[in-house]
Amino acid sequence: MGKKHTVSFKLNGKAVDVVVEPRELLIHTLREKLLHTGPHIGCETSHCGACTVDLDGMSVKSCTVLTVQCQDSDVLTIEGFEQGGALHALQQSFSEQHGLQCGYCTPGMVTRAYRLLKENPDPSEEEIRYWMAGNLCRCTGYQNIVKAVQHAAKKLAAAVPNRAA
């Protein structure tokens, strides 16, 4: 067995420590050790995007990141979106615009869309489709996902700036 490492990082703003073998993937640490089962395992081959989390300001597929790489990192999962009992604008929009059917891809979609809107607060439909292309959905045909992201962009733009996080 590879020598175990203690890895400390922030998960949804809270400090966590885990002891892992070097080969442990971030998605497994999140789901099995830290019981954050929002990020899903779809393909485990970095194709589907269901395991997407936000890592230090990047959308990453947590099936293709080693937990040992995350020392001192800041990790955001879908569990970190709701604040004080209120859903994030993206979560509201996916609900209102029917941006999901089975829901399996949704945590990855929302987490990816979060970073997209941070980088481009007012994306066109074409831009949403280009920058969301790392997330697969086998139900919706994407149309309502695009609508949900556009809807969330409007909500966030209309919100008081200090609540737009």
Partner 1 sequence: MIPGEFEYHAPKSVPDALALLKQFGDASKLLAGGHSLLPMMKMRFAQPAHLIDLGKIAELKGIREDGGTLRIGAMTTENELIWSKLLQDKCPLLVEGARLISDPQVRYKGTIGGDIAHGDPGNDHPALMLALSASFLLRSAAGERVVPADGFFVGTYDTLMKAEEIMTEIRIPVPAAGAGYSYCKLKRKVGDFATAAAAVMLRMNGEAVKEIAIALTNVAATPLKARAAEDSLRGKPLTDAAIAAAANLAMSICDPAVDQRGDAEYKTAMAGEMTQRALRMAQSRAKG
Residue 160: burial class (beta carbons within 10 Å; 0-12, 13-18, 19+):
exposed
Q: C-alpha angle 29/7/64, rounded to 5°?
A: 45
**Which tokens is 122 given?**
């007012």
Binding stretches for partner 1 (CB under 8 A) = 1-3, 5, 21-25, 28, 44-47, 49, 52, 58-61, 64-66, 68-69, 71, 112, 116, 131-134
Nearer to partner 1, 47 or 96 (CB): 47
CB of 73 to partner 1, least distance (A): 11
In the DSSP assignment, the letter for residue 74 is E
CB of 148 to partner 1, least distance (A): 17
CB of 84 to partner 1, least distance (A): 29
Instruction: Please tell me the distance from the alpha carbon of residue 54 to that of residue 115, in angstroms, as a whole number.
Output: 7
CB of 11 to partner 1, least distance (A): 19
CB of 23 to partner 1, least distance (A): 5
Instruction: Please tell me the distance from the alpha carbon of residue 158 to that of residue 139, in angstroms, as a whole number.
Output: 30
Nearer to partner 1, 132 or 152 (CB): 132
Nearer to partner 1, 11 or 27 (CB): 27
Residue 46: burial class (beta carbons within 10 Å; 0-12, 13-18, 19+):
middle
